[in-house]
Structure 1
């Protein structure tokens, strides 16, 4: 039984890891884009899009983790990094993309 859980944990970790990496990439872009000024609408739109994509990827990871079979084999801290990235993106978005 423990062998099955280890294999299941590995299989379920892959999508959680990939979604977290996607969220990290878009969060990084949201934090590194610097508008030239208040008139730079393209940069502001890029920041907002990056924040939305970060929150979307982290939300998808959270939805995956909330499923009962996943939650039984994955601990709560597995979803922590994705949720932290979503919080950072929300703060960045709130600061005025």
Structure 2
């Protein structure tokens, strides 16, 4: 009896390939969030520190948004679940709160 061969499921390899940009963007988001959280202004007059916090927060939130943008693609979403996006969203949200509260 002949029939179609077994289905070659490459999902394991596909997950690894699609996970690379998500992991890199998560690391970028976490790094900039850490930077935004560790910058401590010396006082209300320390404009340079506040000027450093804002771009760090923007980059962290931007990397988190880029992670979501990559995940929204249907081909990626079929293979990778929410568990791949949440680690990038957490530092993005933390940085957004830091930015909104003014440092």
Q: Shared fold (TM-score greater than 0.5)?
A: yes
Q: Which residue of 2 aligns with 1:12?
A: 18
Instruction: For residues 32-65 of structure 1, give each alpha carbon's deviation from its aligned partner in whole angstroms, at most 9, with x where no partner exists.
Output: 0000111111100111110000001111011000
Q: Which residue of 1 aligns with 2:89?
A: 83
Query: Is 1:50 paired with 2:18?
Result: no
Counterpart pick for 1:96 among 70, 81, 102: 102
SS across alignment from 1:38: coil
Which structure 1 segments of 5+ residues have no match? none
For 1:28 and 1:2, how far apart are their aligned partners in 2?
42
Deviation at 1:85, TM superposition (A): 1.1
Higher helix share: 1
Q: Count residues with an aligned counterpart.
A: 97
Output aligned runs, 1:33-72, within 5 Å. 33-72=39-78
Q: Which has the larger radius of gyration?
A: 2
Q: Compute the TM-score of the two structures, normalised by the length of structure 2.
A: 0.90
For 2:50 and 2:59, how far apart are their aligned partners in 1?
14
Give the superposed CA RMSD.
1.1
Moved over 4 A (4+): none
Q: Compute the TM-score of the two structures, normalised by the length of structure 1.
A: 0.95
Deviation at 1:2, TM superposition (A): 6.1
SS across alignment from 1:53: helix
